[in-house]
């Protein structure tokens, strides 16, 4: 469903479409990320995983180009000049979130960490929470253009999910480092990847903090 941004982007339908497309790409990248790591936990690195990684590469490249196109439109057509710097900063932060997703998938493909069966369900719970957090930040971003009053609610949800992700990652790491079947090198390797997944929720929370400030400035 196409979202409308009447209050900020009136008479700028092309920019509306570009923003919609940009945020849609984050949603799709998040979905592929979740499916890819589920696939990895079940089957390890396989052709299907590599295909999904290529899909995220393509999405990341298109998102980069869209961000540049939006930047040009904002300057060339002098659209929403009073908020231009905030919009540009927001788009860059969101674009970096896609970059983090892509980088995380690449690291799994290269290093292939071996999660023992007894820890995989905890990884899945962390993955689900982190992806929900990323979905919520995109809701918040759309709300910034469409319904400023909703930004606070979505941001609160992002913060709650980030906190839950922290709890899940801490619990998982504690279990990993107490697992006597793993040597120290294995524990450290798994810790790195748990933290990489959790970092995506941290990045979403950082965007949420910025959005809250942008929304306050817009309301002044």
Average pLDDT score over residue span 189-207: 98
pLDDT beyond 50 at 16: yes
Average pLDDT score over residue span 122-141: 98
> DSSP alpha helices (H): ranges in the chain?
6-9, 13-43, 47-76, 84-111, 117-146, 148-177, 184-219
pLDDT beyond 50 at 49: yes
Question: Which domains can be identified in the chain, with CATH numbers?
Answer: 13-219 (1.20.58.220)
Predicted pLDDT at 145: 86
Range from 4-8, 64-68, 85-89 carrying the lowest mean pLDDT: 4-8
Q: What pTM was estimated for this model as a whole? A: 0.91
Predicted pLDDT at 78: 60
pLDDT beyond 70 at 77: no
Measured in whole angstroms, the distance separating CA 125 from the mean position of its chain's CA atoms is: 16
Six token digits for residue 158: 């992002």
For residues 3 and 16, which has the higher predicted lDDT (pLDDT)? 16
CA distance 48 to 87: 36
Range from 24-28, 51-55, 196-200, 210-214 carrying the lowest mean pLDDT: 210-214
> Sign of the C-alpha dihedral, residues 169, 98, 105, 184?
negative
pLDDT beyond 50 at 76: yes
The mean of the pLDDT values for the chain is: 91
């Amino acid at each position: 469903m196409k979202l409308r941004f009447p209050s900020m982007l009136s008479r700028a339908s092309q920019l509306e479409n570009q923003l919609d497309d940009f945020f849609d790409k984050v949603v799709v990248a998040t979905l592929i990320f979740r499916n890819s790591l589920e696939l990895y936990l079940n089957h390890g690195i396989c052709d299907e995983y590599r295909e999904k990684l290529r899909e995220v590469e393509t999405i990341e490249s298109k998102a980069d180009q869209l961000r540049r196109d939006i930047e040009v439109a904002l300057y060339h057509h002098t659209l929403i000049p009073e908020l231009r710097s905030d919009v540009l900063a927001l788009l860059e932060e969101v674009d970096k979130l896609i970059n983090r997703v892509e980088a995380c998938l690449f690291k799994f493909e290269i290093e292939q960490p071996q999660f023992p069966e007894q820890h995989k369900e905890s990884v899945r719970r962390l993955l689900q929470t982190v992806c929900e957090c990323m979905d919520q930040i995109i809701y918040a971003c759309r709300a910034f253009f469409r319904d400023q009053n909703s930004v606070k609610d979505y941001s609160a949800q992002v913060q709650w999910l980030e906190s839950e992700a922290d709890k899940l990652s801490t619990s998982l790491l504690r279990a990993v480092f107490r697992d006597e079947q793993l040597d120290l090198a294995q524990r450290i390797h798994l810790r790195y990847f748990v933290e990489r997944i959790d970092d995506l929720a941290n990045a979403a929370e950082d965007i949420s903090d910025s959005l809250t400030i942008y929304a306050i400035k817009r309301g002044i």
